[in-house]
């Protein structure tokens, strides 16, 4: 499983612009303060943004769920309207395409994504950079779901097992991501973890959060392959 933002690509500018537009459309208030986004799901970010910007509805699960549903719809529309700017204002992280392509050629490997982005936006990001074809998006985990990433990872493992008829154990499941929260999610969700220090978390922070191995970036494809081999075979 791969995280997307700041692991594979960086489309921070259009993402933040879409987020601000959707927030204003749904709450009627400007997004003055945006919470920390690294390693978090859209639902977590949205509800914290409501609190930070004093824009929340009357407390209640039904009101929260309805508001989140409307926000996700507006966010997908706002992000989709910016698809032409993704490659202009964004970039692939160094070595990302070769790393994903080469890992996908390893025997028995199934690649998907585990991301805090809602599903339509995750697909837009991958498609913009020609990366969608490397992943089975059907079994991935997305921020459209109101679950923390650890629970999303567990669910994705179950979906993969059902589709492919293989038990994806903790020793055969690997999450490659860039934040300390992602390393914690891997531990909770029953997965090995490969930290990539290309985001907001340093190599030391990734190790402290429980990463099984850490790379500075994905630029050295051979190093990525070696890490994937070691982490997924070391328990067999």
DSSP structure string for the chain: -B--BTTTEE-HHHHHHHHHHHHHHHHSS----PPP-TT--HHHHHHHHHHHTT---SS-HHHHHHHHHHHHHHHHHHHHTTGGGHHHH-EEPTTHHHHHHHHHTSTT----BB-SS-HHHHHHHHHHTT-GGGS-GGG-B-TTSSS-HHHHHHHHHHHHHHHHS----GGG-EEEESSHHHHHHHHHHT-EEEEETTSSS-HHHHHHTT-SEEES-S--HHHHHHHHHHHHHTT-
Q: Domain holding 115: CATH number? A: 3.40.50.1000
**Do 161 and 205 belong to one domain?**
yes
- Domain membership of residue 98 as a residue range: 91-233
Asked, for residue 186, whether it belongs to a domain, the answer is yes
**Do 52 and 141 belong to one domain?**
no
pLDDT in tens, the chain (236 residues): 999 999 999 999 999 999 999 999 998 888 888 777 776 788 888 888 888 887 665 555 555 788 888 999 999 999 999 999 999 999 999 999 999 999 999 999 999 999 999 999 999 999 999 999 999 999 999 988 777 899 999 999 999 999 999 999 999 999 999 999 999 999 999 999 999 999 999 999 999 999 999 999 999 999 999 999 999 974 44
pTM for this predicted structure: 0.91
Asked, for residue 50, whether it belongs to a domain, the answer is yes
Total domains, the chain: 2
Asked, for residue 4, whether it belongs to a domain, the answer is no
């Amino acid at each position: 499983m791969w995280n997307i933002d700041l692991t594979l690509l960086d489309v921070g500018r259009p993402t933040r612009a879409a987020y601000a537009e959707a927030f204003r459309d749904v709450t009627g208030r400007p997004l003055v303060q945006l919470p920390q986004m690294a390693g978090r799901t859209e639902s977590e970010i949205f509800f914290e943004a409501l609190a930070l910007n004093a824009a929340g509805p009357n407390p209640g699960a039904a009101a929260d769920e309805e508001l989140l549903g409307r926000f996700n719809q507006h966010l997908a529309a706002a992000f989709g309207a910016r698809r032409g700017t993704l490659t202009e204002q964004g970039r692939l992280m160094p070595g990302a395409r070769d790393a994903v392509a080469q890992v996908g050629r390893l025997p028995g490997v199934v690649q998907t994504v585990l991301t805090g982005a809602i599903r339509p936006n995750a697909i837009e990001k991958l498609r913009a950079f020609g990366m969608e074809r490397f992943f089975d998006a059907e079994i991935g985990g997305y921020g459209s779901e109101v679950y923390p990433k650890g629970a999303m990872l567990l669910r994705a493992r179950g979906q993969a097992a059902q589709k492919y008829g293989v038990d994806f154990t903790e020793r055969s499941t690997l999450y490659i991501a860039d934040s300390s929260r992602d390393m914690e999610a891997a531990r909770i969700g029953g997965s090995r973890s490969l930290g990539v220090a290309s985001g907001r978390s340093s190599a030391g922070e990734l190790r402290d959060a429980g990463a099984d191995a850490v790379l500075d970036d994905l630029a050295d494809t051979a190093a990525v392959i070696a890490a994937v081999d070691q982490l997924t075979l070391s328990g067999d």
